[in-house]
Amino acid sequence: MGKRLVQQARGKGSPAYKAPSFTYKGKATTPRKQTAEILDIIHCRGHSAPLAQVQFEDNSKGCIIASEGIYVGKKVRMGEKTELEVGNTLALKNIPEGSLIYNIESKPGDGGKFVRSSGGAAKLVTRTKDQVIITFPSKKRKAFHPDCRASLGVVAGGGRTDKPFVKAGKKYFEMKKRNKYWPKVSGASMNAIDHPLGGTRSSRKGRPTIVPKNAPPGRKVGMLRPRQTGRKK
């Protein structure tokens, strides 16, 4: 009989395992508006990078990913024909090669999906008539549509990962703010009711971990069924 694993319960989507997004300051996206003035630079528990609260020309307010070098009162511009300044957003086809960019759109008009974490910056390598090649911080390259937009500069908050957590309590709250699965406990350390590999009072169970051929989805943990067992003849 299959077990109700916590990994499967989290994937179900019940309210107990959802991220507390109602406590976030807002959605950081780049709309298609021309000019915005930075009102404040704030911290949001749902984002690793600082956010900039901005006010647009129509007096509406929103949040964008803050970049290094911006300040309160600075005006950032978004559009086709925009100056090449830090914090401005324009189409990839209008950005020169070798520029550092962040908050890159996956599709034209989606507001930005790639390179949004603190200290991150991608590099525009080359362009053709139909696509633009960008190198991510992971050194991986990806092709984008020339009409996709990106912001110039580097995401603020760099060096965040250089500081150690030191205490397990800080790590706990860091994972809890996005409701990540932490700490990761091995199945052999759990009780028998929680995992197929759990049970007995010691951590070394000595039971076979090879999954049977007709095991239900909740039982398919541990080593998958091998092609053969025993000594090769």
Residues 143-192 have pLDDT tens digits of 999 999 999 999 999 999 999 999 999 999 999 999 988 898 888 888 88
Q: Read off the pLDDT of each residue in 29-47 and give the average, rounded to a whole number.
A: 92
Dist CA 184 CA 146 (whole Å): 42
What domains can be seen in the chain, in order of their start residue?
A: 1-16+179-233 (4.10.950.10), 19-71+85-161 (2.30.30.30)
Residues 46-105 have pLDDT tens digits of 999 999 999 998 899 999 999 999 999 999 999 877 889 999 999 999 999 999 999 999
pLDDT at 14 over 90: no
The band of 205, judged by pLDDT with boundaries at 50, 70 and 90, is: low
Distances in Å between the alpha carbon of 11 and those of 5, 6, 47, 198?
10, 9, 22, 21
pLDDT of residue 15: 87
Residues 95-133 have pLDDT tens digits of 999 999 999 999 999 999 999 999 999 999 999 989 999
Dist CA 108 CA 91 (whole Å): 9
Give the E-state strand segments of 68-226 in sequence order.
75-77, 89-91, 100-102, 122-127, 132-135, 141-144, 149-152
pLDDT of residue 7: 80
pLDDT of residue 115: 97
pLDDT of residue 1: 57
pLDDT of residue 206: 63
- Which residue is associated with the tokens 């910056």? 121
38 versus 203: the higher-pLDDT residue is 38
The SS3 call for residue 78 is: strand
Dist CA 159 CA 40 (whole Å): 22
Adjacent-strand bridge partners of 150: 90
- Two tokens at 134? 């960008």
- Two tokens at 1? 């009989």
pLDDT of residue 34: 82
Residue 133's CB is within 10 A of a number of other CB atoms, namely 16
pLDDT at 201 over 90: no
Query: Which amino acid makes up residue 60?
Result: S
Residue 146's CB is within 10 A of a number of other CB atoms, namely 16
